[in-house]
C-alpha cells in the first residue's frame, strides 16, 4: 500500500477499515486478539492524514501559475522556433545552421516526452473525508 499514491493510500486504508467494521465476526475476533486498538489508531491516523492531504492540495491549487502550467506554452514556442530553423535550413543551408537545427530537433523530441499527461494530478478523495 505504501508504494501507491497518497490519495490511493487514503482510499485503501478507509476501505480496509470500512470492511473490517462492517464484518461483526471480524470485529469480535479482532477484539479477542487485540487488533481493535491498531484499527482504531489506523482510523484516527487516516482521518488526520486525509485532512492534511486535502488542506495541502487546496493550498497548492490556490497558487498562481506554476512551471507545469507554463510548460506547454514554452514547448509550443520552441516548436515554432524549430520550424523557423527548419525553413532556414531549407532556404539558406550551411553547416552551422544544419548542426544547430539537428541539435534543436533532438531537444524538441526530448521535450515532447516531458509534457504532462495528467498522471500527476491529485486524486479525488473527497468521498473518504
Rounded distance between C-alpha atoms, residue 37 and residue 30, angstroms: 9
- What pLDDT sits at residue 121? 54
Dig out the grid coordinates for 5 from the structure.
499514491
Average pLDDT value for residue range 73-77 = 84
Q: Is the dihedral of CA 22, 27, 30, 31 positive or negative?
A: positive
Q: Domain segments of the chain: what residues?
A: 6-61, 67-114
Distance CA 11, CA 119 (A): 17
For 17-51, what is each residue's pLDDT tens digit? 999 999 999 999 988 998 999 999 999 999 999 99
Which residues fall within 8 angstroms of residue 6, CB to CB, at 6 or more apart?
53, 123
* Listed residue (39, 46, 66, 42) closest to 6, CA to CA: 46
Amino acid at each position: 500500500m505504501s508504494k501507491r499514491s497518497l490519495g490511493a493510500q487514503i482510499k485503501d486504508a478507509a476501505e480496509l477499515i470500512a470492511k473490517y467494521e462492517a464484518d461483526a465476526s471480524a470485529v469480535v475476533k479482532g477484539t479477542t486478539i487485540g487488533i481493535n486498538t491498531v484499527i482504531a489508531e489506523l482510523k484516527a491516523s487516516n482521518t488526520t492524514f486525509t485532512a492534511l492531504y486535502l488542506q495541502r492540495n487546496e493550498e497548492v491549487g490556490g497558487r498562481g501559475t506554476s512551471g507545469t502550467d507554463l510548460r506547454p506554452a514554452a514547448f509550443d514556442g520552441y516548436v515554432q522556433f524549430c520550424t523557423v530553423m527548419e525553413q532556414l535550413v531549407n532556404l539558406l543551408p550551411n553547416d552551422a545552421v544544419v548542426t544547430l537545427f539537428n541539435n534543436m530537433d533532438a531537444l524538441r523530441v526530448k521535450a515532447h516526452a516531458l509534457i504532462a499527461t495528467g498522471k500527476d494530478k491529485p486524486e479525488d478523495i473527497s468521498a473518504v473525508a
